[in-house]
Structure 1
Amino acid sequence: MKIIVIGATGRVGANVVAKLAQNSNDEIYAGARKPEKIPAADNVTPFKLDLNDKMDDIKEGLPEADAIIFTAGSGGRDLLKVDLHGAVKVMQAAEEKEINRFVMLSSKGSLSPDEFADSPLENYLIAKYYADQWLIHNTDLDYTILQPTALVEKTGSGKVTLGAYSTNENSIDNVADVLIGLVENHAGIKEVIEMSTGNEPIPEAINELN
């Protein structure tokens, strides 16, 4: 399977690329603003992708692929240009290149605008809200939107709750495994999926989405 990872040097994206690199059946295209930072692997091809570029330039830079996993973010520094507009430009480019499978890493509560004012991440959630809304209502992509709770850097348990929240955190390791599982199993298409650390093995949780 040919998979593009957008945001391949970020905390989640780098983890996704590293895991996919272990499967020789997958061909991975790792997109980042600084592709030289992507570790070498036989089945990983780094490519330059700047979400501040014009949509046509982004489209030209996208390799031919079967799916996109979008994990990019500005870390709060450039929410409108990167987290919102950058994401939409990638969606538009994907449609024009007929890369129909699009898995979006989002955030808990991204589609609950009435709750934004109570969150310290209000501006981030606003950006994610409009990006997610665009994906749902303004594209024909086979999307999945994953809404994890807070990301933490700890070894993944391999067990999650999908479709509800049972804890207030997710290991980045688990999130990466779920993103990959959604793509490789064609699971959760046209769905918004809540996620937290839980008690169900990831493969079983993903299978229940089909």
Structure 2
Amino acid sequence: MFRFLTAWIRSLSIRRIPMKIIVIGATGRVGSTVVSKLAARPDIEVYAGARHPEKVPAADNVTPFHIDLHDTKDDIKESLPEAGKLIFTAGSGGKDLLQVDLNGAVKIMKAAEEKGILRFVMLSSKGSLTPDLFSGKNPSPLANYLIAKYYADEWLMNNTHLQYTILQPTALVDKPGSGKVSLGNYTTNETSIENVAEVLIGLAEHNSSVGEIIEMSTGNEPIPEAINHLS
């Protein structure tokens, strides 16, 4: 009997409850990469949210679900699964900045907070919180996009109680990830999507960056070490 109890207690200590992560924008360039990487992690339960969830590749630990950022906040709240963490990667590609990149993001924040999904990792952009870049005589070519991101990021920081991290990478490129980055400053003008996906996952897994705005580019530090140095 004693041996049975010992083995049972040991099994409880070894058994891990899967971490539950929601990915919003799961079929986009970054979101799909995040989901594919999480699909290889049996210790994580992934909820992949997209307007067309049928496009999410099947995996044992991935549950696609429909979410439309044009819906009302209450409809979005109803769509969100129960989870502890959320990675927001959705974007309109410049086609619907107000409804998706700004208002859609804010509705996700409100819905997540009301549902108790408090850890919120936001994919933003270099310059999103630098208004001078989208003002004056020579605004950035991405001015309208940066304006949408600015107000979404500001809402996250100042109008929610979410445990947020805002990631501000340089220009995203479709290149193989080097696995090495610079976090906290910019050393290059581009960042591979694969590296961004790895960093988003790492930030979601660790709480050392809560309340932080993190600049990111390709660099020389391995991603796990770079994330650990944020603490």
With the length of structure 2 as denominator, give the TM-score of the two structures. 0.90
Instruction: Show the counterpart of 1:26.
Output: 44
Could you tell me how far apart the structure 2 residues matched to 1:91 and 1:67 are? 12
**Larger CA deviation: 164-173 vs 180-189:** 180-189
1:124 equivalent to 2:142? Answer no
Count, aligned residues: 210
Give the CA deviation at 1:187: 3.0
Shift of 1:90: 0.2
Structure 1 spans left out of the alignment, 5+ residues = none
CA offset digits 1:7-64 (Å, max 9, x no partner): 0000000000000000001000000000000000000000000000000000000000
Q: Deviations over 1:141-166 (max 9, x none)?
A: 00000000000000000000000000
Name the stretch that deviates more: 114-123 or 176-185.
114-123
Q: Distance in 2 between matches of 1:126 and 1:184?
A: 29
Residue pairs, 1:1-210, within 5 angstroms: 1-117=19-135, 118-210=139-231
Distance 1:163 1:116 in 2: 22
* 1:146 alignment partner, SS class: strand
Which secondary structure state, in structure 2, belongs to the residue aligned with residue 57 of structure 1?
A: helix
The whole-number CA distance in structure 1 between the counterparts of 2:91 and 2:26 is 11
Decide which structure has the larger Cα Rg and report it: 2
Superposed displacement of residue 94, structure 1:
0.5
Flag structure 2 segments of 5+ consecutive residues without an equivalent. Answer: 1-18
| 2:12 matched residue in structure 1 | none
The one-letter code sitting in structure 2 at the alignment partner of 1:79 is L
Amino acid at match of 2:192: S
Give the 3-state SS of the residue equivalent to 1:119 in structure 2. Answer: coil
Aligned identity (percent) is 74
Give runs of ≥4 in structure 1 deviating > 4 Å: none
